[in-house]
Amino acid sequence: MKMKDVLEGYNYDLPLMDAVNDVELRHIRRLLAGALMGEGLDVAYFATRELEEAYVDLRNDVRKGVRYGEGYLAFEEILKDKNPLQMKLWYLTCERDLSETVKDMHWLVGLAHQRGLMARAVREAGVPVVHVPARNLVAGKTPAELVADQTVWN
């Protein structure tokens, strides 16, 4: 069997599913991995990376005794932008220990990076990279869109 045949139709969520089903992982890491499932490869990596960097900056601010430093400003922007994936990750992590959250987010960035690297392996095998994020498969309006779209109710 050729590598091209094996990789055709590769499910990019497999590493995430492995993490979700790994009973040896802490519960929060399993939840975080599940949050990335169905997300676009680039969106998952870059959104997770930006959030991880904000947590690292916030931890550094705390260590320096700075109240409104880089971490605070980074989170101010992230929360203002309301990226759906970042908001999901924020709500999963915002009430947890900061040092542990930094470690968990670092782990999640690594997982998102591994997932994205698989696209390179697929492309190098001569298979077109096809990944359709789950939100692009929704046929109708989602509850989030309905609540945000006030014109529906008028």
Q: Write the pLDDT tens digit of every residue in 49-60.
A: 999 999 999 999
Q: What is the mean pLDDT of residues 3-23?
A: 78
Q: 23 is written with which tokens?
A: 């009973």
CA triplet 66, 72, 75: central angle to 5 degrees? 165
Q: What are phi and psi for residue 108, nearest 5 degrees? A: -65, -40
Amino acid of residue 123: R
Model confidence band, residue 95 (pLDDT cutoffs 50, 70, 90): very high
pLDDT for the residue numbered 52: 97
Which pLDDT belongs to residue 34?
Answer: 95
- Alpha helix ranges (H) inside the chain: 3-7, 14-21, 27-36, 41-64, 70-81, 84-93, 98-124, 143-148
Q: What percent of the chain has pLDDT over 90?
A: 57
Helix (H) or strand (E) holding 65: none
pLDDT digits (tens, 9 = 90+) for 117-151: 877 666 666 655 555 555 555 566 666 666 665 55
Q: Where are the domains of the chain?
A: 3-152
pTM of the model: 0.78
Q: What letter does residue 137 receive in the DSSP assignment?
A: G
- In this structure, which amino acid lies at residue 92? L
